[in-house]
Chain A
Amino acid sequence: GAVVSQHPSRVICKSGTSVKIECRSLDFQATTMFWYRQFPKQSLMLMATSNEGSKATYEQGVEKDKFLINHASLTLSTLTVTSAHPEDSSFYICSARDFIQGGGMNSPLHFGNGTRLTVT
């Protein structure tokens, strides 16, 4: 089945530094990828929609200058947390739908395994 690879799985960084998280679709093309943030024992909160070759669409309340998204190819999207602070510590997850299926019937969302970011 379709696989989404997310890297790194865990990262610890110091306050004020930037961290880049990669999301790759391994066996399908993804025109659109989604980035989520998940707090402990809570549901997935959509941060932004990443569109290949164009600017990302951010959800209300998400700072686009802080969470930089780049979707340079049909198989790779990156999320960069700039000038990270302890309150940015969270579990970040990406997802993608299978472009090859054309978005038709039964096109599920495939998730990466998430990145646990800890800012000290």
Chain B
Amino acid sequence: QQQVKQSPQSLIVQKGGISIINCAYENTAFDYFPWYQQFPGKGPALLIAIRPDVSEKKEGRFTISFNKSAKQFSLHIMDSQPGDSATYFCAASIDNYGQNFVFGPGTRLSVLP
């Protein structure tokens, strides 16, 4: 019940295209859903996050879509750029500072020039 599923495992997109990564969870107690971007040899960096009281959040080229009833959320990267090539992790948490996050297995995104 603590697991967060993520797909696809890897994704190749042409420059300018839309990258879509999907995640699903089981624990209905989760109330905070961030996405992290990780470049090789670096720690993950927060990209964008959403709470279940909204269905969509947009920050620049990055959008999270959230479907509470289906317990699914996704990351959309519009106008994908080669610099977006990285590993993306979705996560879920109970929004309390003492709580750890449950991470998805990650998606390796490659944006071709």
- Interface positions of A (Cβ within 8 A of B): 4, 6, 31-32, 34, 41-44, 46, 49, 91, 93, 95, 97-99, 101-114, 116
Contact = CB atoms under 8 A, between A and B. Distances in A.
Interface string B89-102: 10101011110110
Contact of B101 (A105, A109, A113): A109
B97 A106 contact: no
A103 B93 CA distance: 12
Chain B interface bracket (under 10, 10 to 19, 20 to 34, 35 or more): 20 to 34
Nearest to B102: A46
Nearest to A48: B100
B50 to A, nearest CB: 9
27 contacts: A6-B43, A31-B98, A32-B98, A34-B100, A42-B106, A43-B104, A44-B44, A44-B103, A46-B100, A91-B41, A97-B97, A98-B97, A102-B97, A103-B96, A103-B97, A103-B98, A105-B51, A105-B95, A106-B32, A106-B49, A107-B95, A108-B34, A108-B46, A108-B49, A110-B46, A111-B43, A113-B43
Contacts of B45: 111
Contacts of A91: 41
Contact of A111 (B44, B51, B95): B44
A98 B42 CA distance: 20
Interface string B27-68: 000001010100001111110010100000000000000000
